[in-house]
Amino acid sequence: MDLLHRPRRLRRTPALRSLVRQTSLQATDLIYPLFVHEGARNEPIASMPGCQRWCLDALGDEVGRAWDLGIRCVVLFPKVADGLKSDDGAECFNEGGLIPRTIRRLKAEHPDMVIMTDVALDPYSSDGHDGIVSPHGVVLNDETVEILCQQALAQARSGADLVGPSDMMDGRVEAIRTTLDDHGFTDVGIISYTAKYSSAYYGPFRDALDSAPRTSGDKPIPTNKDTYQMDPANSREALIEADLDEEEGADILMVKPGLAYLDIVAKLRKGSTLPIAAYNVSGEYAMVKAAAERGWIEERRVVLETLLCFRRAGADLILTYHAPDAARWLQEG
């Protein structure tokens, strides 16, 4: 064949392929989500094989292991006892509560590790929603934002480096930024869950935290989060949310879920100069683990390919439960 262009020329050897490789993946691209609880022992999470709810005494060693693997950021999620949950989720801003104590302890043991937090009411809400639910079953926006500001402030006072509002209330980024600045925490960053979709991929996460919507007496509780999380059918709406979050002072924009929403990651990357994060969520993780356990896929190759594809789509950072395994595999080469 008389061909001027033969793309296979640059695929001929490993060295040539490496020379023209357009995307890379390294451990510092990964953020490691960790579940914490008040118990004396770690608790395995059945729907997330390999993950567990960490007790405080064991958590520091796990964070140290992550650091040694090259991971430089962890994000904390609390499993809150039912007795501490309430309609308004007020436990979320208790500076003696689980997350503030965890932050202080980790910062004492691992001062260089970047600590990210979750800002939302669902782990603390007796109704299982990210916001306050009115007696008529409406998730209240402005009243919720007031509490989220107190939550973010308590986390900042405890030493958090990044606060992550995942609630999807309107106006919360600006309100949190103003609150932090007014109290002298101008250096605490906001990684905003900018495009968080009302997704079926969150089930194992809600199992881990017991944070799914739940009935509460005679109050009508919405069974889903469709009135504040985004419709999976919409893409342009993500651009609106991104513009608003940038204007309100977000430092990093996030897309959640990630794997089924790579088009949204790419759109935000094209439209913003801010760092873009993607959340490789619990349902995506569980699917890979289940298939690997049955021998249907090669876990290492699938995980590393998936994470590389997040980077290729435009993600600078990836929140993933695969983080320690992926970092170890990257070290091994």
Binding site, by residue number, is: 241
- Which of 79, 256, 267, 289 is flagged as catalytic? 256
Element (H, E) at 35: strand 30-36
Strands 52-54 and 73-78: unpaired
What is the Cα 307 distance to its own chain's centre? 15
Burial class (CB in 10 A: 0-12, 13-18, 19+), 216: middle
Catalytic residue flag (residue 225): no
Element (H, E) at 307: helix 299-313
- Count of Cβ atoms closer than 10 Å to residue 107 Cβ: 16
Which residue's structure tokens are 């069974």? Answer: 223
Give the C-alpha separation, 125 to 140, whole Å.
Answer: 13
Element (H, E) at 65: helix 56-68
- Which of 196, 225, 267, 289 is flagged as catalytic? 196
Radius of gyration from C-alpha coordinates of the chain: 20
Report the SS3 class of residue 86: strand
Binding site for Mg(2+), by residue number, is: 241
Q: Is 179 left (phi over 0), alpha (psi -120 to 50) or beta?
A: alpha
- 319 Cβ neighbours under 8 A, 6+ residues apart: 30, 31, 33, 75, 254, 258, 277, 278, 279, 280
Catalytic residue flag (residue 79): no
Treating both helix axes as pointing N-terminal to C-terminal, what angle do 299-313 and 323-332 enclose, rounded to 10 degrees? 100
CB-based contact 54:34 (threshold 8 Å):
yes
Give me the active site residues, please.
Answer: 196, 256
